[in-house]
Amino acid sequence: MTRRIGFFIFADFQLLDLTGPLAAFHVASQVAGTEPYALHVLSAKGGLVASTAGLRVPSERAGLRALDTLLVAGGSGSRAVAKDPRRLELVRALAARSRRAASVCTGAFILAAAGLLDGRRATTHWRAAASLQRDYPRVKVEGERIFVKDGSLWTSAGITAGIDLALALIEEDLGSEVSRAAAQELVVYHRRPGGQSQFSAMQELEPESDPMRLALAFARGHLSEALTVERLAAAARLSERQFGRVFRRETGETPGKAVERLRVEAARLLIEESSEPIESIASSVGFRDPERMRRAFLRRIGQPPQALRRSARQSKRV
């Protein structure tokens, strides 16, 4: 069976958001030797489409022929597409005729604007995560993830993360051996786990104002303690009500979720770099017990602490 993969592009798309995944699917076809994929670059009108790098890429006019996979690129032009009712309707129609839909980087804004991510977990480039959450509050943004699968919808972080996403899709279709062989041909890691952190949580939250920065700095310095909204608001020198509203607006998260993110990041470093017992690590970063930390790890990075420790030890032996 040959699966039709449609890569949807638009003016000012990010070139690597297209070429990275496209190369992965192409190499997988060569490795499998059975032509499992037919690759199509699509746009609203067809013809040459200019990328942010200035290179113009030929495309087919997107019709309503069924696809196996719709993959929407990102790039600076994604915000314009997200405000264009005609192109959003086209994306909705293409997704409805596809077995699964995916996006790379800020392509998530297009899927979100089309209503496809309502009530779904999703990710995007770390720099755009808070914006995605603010603009589309029905989306459950997990800005630290490399890629996220929620049912038939997949989203990935920025730029090279599209390759990780493509390898995961290939693995789902053709198995881990083909996916691993494709990664070897591409000379990339097979494959970064979807839950791997994109960036430091402190940098990713990136609040705009000094009060919010003060609150986050206070939280990071007191992770082992109870970090109530009252304490964080006091550190920011704001009322609790004002603090909660401003914090959500600037970071795209509630204070509680942000504290959990900081604790998971701190615990992860200790798990991967030290031999300290997981129970002790949980206590040192403010989780009341290891089970709470395990659930937070599953929510945030899709793997329990024990699995991360095993992976870290295997990497060190290689």
* Domain count along the chain: 2
Give the chain as a DSSP string: -PEEEEEE--TTB-HHHHHHHHHHHHHHHHHHSS--EEEEEEESS-EEEEBTTS-EEEEEEP-S--EEEEEE--STTHHHHHT-HHHHHHHHHHHHTEEEEEEETTHHHHHHHTTTTTT-EE---GGGHHHHHHH-TTSEE-TT-SEEEETTEEEE-STTHHHHHHHHHHHHHH-HHHHHHHHHHHT--TT--TTS-SS-HHHHH--SSHHHHHHHHHHHHTTTS---HHHHHHHHTS-HHHHHHHHHHHHSS-HHHHHHHHHHHHHHHHHHH----HHHHHHHTT-SSHHHHHHHHHHHHSS-HHHHHHHHHHHHH-
Instruction: List CB contacts of 296: < 8 A, sequence separation 6 or more.
Output: 260, 263, 264, 287
Q: Note whether residue 192 is domain-resident.
A: no
To which residue do tokens 């209503």 refer? 115
Q: Are residues 154 and 214 in the same domain?
A: no
- 277-295 residue pLDDT tens: 999 999 999 998 999 999 9
Q: Are residues 182 and 208 in the same domain?
A: no
Q: Are residues 147 and 211 in the same domain?
A: no
Domain boundary (186, 217, 239) is at: 186
Residue 302 has pLDDT above 80, yes or no: no
Check the CA dihedral 237-241-246-248 and report its sign.
Answer: positive
- 112-156 residue pLDDT tens: 999 999 999 999 987 788 789 889 999 988 877 788 999 999 999
Q: Are residues 148 and 25 in the same domain?
A: yes
**Cβ-contact 205, 216 below 8 angstroms:** yes
* Cα dihedral value 124, 164, 101, 97, nearest 10: 160
The catalytic residues are 105
Residue 11 has pLDDT above 90, yes or no: yes
C-alpha span between 173 and 32 (Å, rounded): 11
Q: Name the pairing type of β-strands 56-61 and 67-72.
A: unpaired
Q: By residue range, what is the domain housing residue 60?
A: 3-186
Count of other CB atoms within 10 angstroms of residue 160: 17
The model's confidence at residue 190, banded by pLDDT at 50, 70 and 90, is low
Q: Are residues 243 and 292 in the same domain?
A: yes
To which residue do tokens 């297009």 refer? 110
The model's confidence at residue 189, banded by pLDDT at 50, 70 and 90, is low
Percent residues over pLDDT 90 in the chain: 64
Say which residue, 273 or 210, is predicted with more confidence: 210
Q: Note whether residue 195 is domain-resident.
A: no
C-alpha span between 308 and 272 (Å, rounded): 7
Q: Are residues 182 and 209 in the same domain?
A: no
